Amino acid sequence: MSLTAPRTGVLSRRLRWWTELPLIAVVYGVYSVGRLLARGDVSTAVDHGLGILHLEKLLRINAESPLNRLFTEHPSVGIPADFAYAALHYLVTPAVLIWLWKRRPAHYRVMRGWLMISTFIGLIGFILLPTCPPRLLAAGYGFVDTMAQYGSYGWWGGEASAPRGMGGLTNQYAAMPSLHVGWALWCGVVLWQLGKSRLTKSVAVAYPLLITVVVMGTANHYFLDAVAGAAVMGIGLLLVRPTLRLAGRALGRLGALLPEPWRERLAGRLPGAEAGPGGAEAEPAAVAAVAASTPGTSGAAMNVSAECETSAGERIPRQPNHGRGPGADAGATGTDVGAAADEAATATR
């Protein structure tokens, strides 16, 4: 699957950081509020968690149990894992987004869209399937909350990775799917596909695996939560390009209803006219679409000198014979072709 953005219409316009940052902030804010409002009945969440644990035991894939014992018995493993769970989720993902913006701008729009779509799919999972994480199950199930056990070493308290005193601002029963794993997988795919060095590709493989081990060892997620997080990212990847195309068509229709100056601004003064982060040069079809939607222009050609004043007898080279009076020189077209040929020959010297 191509990781570049669809080069159609408005979607190929140049992105600006002062519009991109608010967009990301708004999307993350909506996600955070939605996650908080998705709190369900605690008993239902506990039932879902026990059901997942029972299924894992039947399939013999309950890897979180031995990992949690390892993290609990060895602070040299558990404490770094707690820091990784509390911090990397919020540091590595923005860093990869910034790297895309600066170093791989042609891929930025699709990858950012993939991340956002998958995040909203995960939010739907939190609403439909509230799940109690292993650390909140009764003690008889053998899990220890390492974040609480080693809380004195970090800024978090006993309520997931939330800072002390702010546990009420998080939903501790939003365990299914694990977006810690989902976002880490996104980072890994981006670095693997677009990174060039061996070190980058090594990090691309190691980081998602590390986060998967961490979320299970700290008893914040079941193994199936991690599997669901990966599945959510897969669904988001399948949906991103159709979603971007649909958004492009919607913006194109909106642009056709706007006054001409606003339409040009929305299209970036012809879509993709500037190459920059998230955009490439527009295809001829995109330019023709803007021309066709502009009153007073034809789809065949646009007279670039329509509003230009020239001296008597002066014409712009290669300009079609539009609007010339009955006395126009019939050989002017041939003269223009000759002038164009002269310019092309000069350019190749």
Residue 306 and residue 44 in contact, taking contact as beta carbons nearer than 8 Å = no
Phi and psi at residue 156, in whole multiples of 5°? -85, 160
Can you tell me the mean pLDDT for 162-187?
Answer: 83
Lowest mean pLDDT among 51-60, 65-74, 85-94, 277-286: 277-286
SS3 113: helix
Above 60 in pLDDT, residue 172?
A: yes
- pLDDT bracket for residue 11 (50, 70, 90): very low
Above 90 in pLDDT, residue 235?
A: yes
Structure tokens at 133: 């994480």
Above 80 in pLDDT, residue 336?
A: no
Lowest mean pLDDT among 71-75, 137-141, 315-319: 315-319
Q: Which helix (H) or strand (E) holds 178?
A: none
Can you tell me the mean pLDDT for 257-263?
Answer: 69
pLDDT for residue 252: 73
pLDDT tens digits for 290-305?
334 434 444 433 444 4
Cα 302 from Cα 48, distance rounded (Å)? 63
pLDDT for residue 165: 60
Least Cα distance to 117 among 232, 5, 225 occurs for: 232
- Residue listed under structure tokens 């404490």: 79
- pLDDT bracket for residue 19 (50, 70, 90): confident
Cα 348 from Cα 15, distance rounded (Å)? 34
Can you tell me the mean pLDDT for 25-39?
Answer: 77
316 vs 284, more confident: 316
pLDDT for residue 77: 97
pLDDT tens digits for 75-104?
999 999 999 999 999 999 999 999 999 999
pLDDT for residue 253: 77
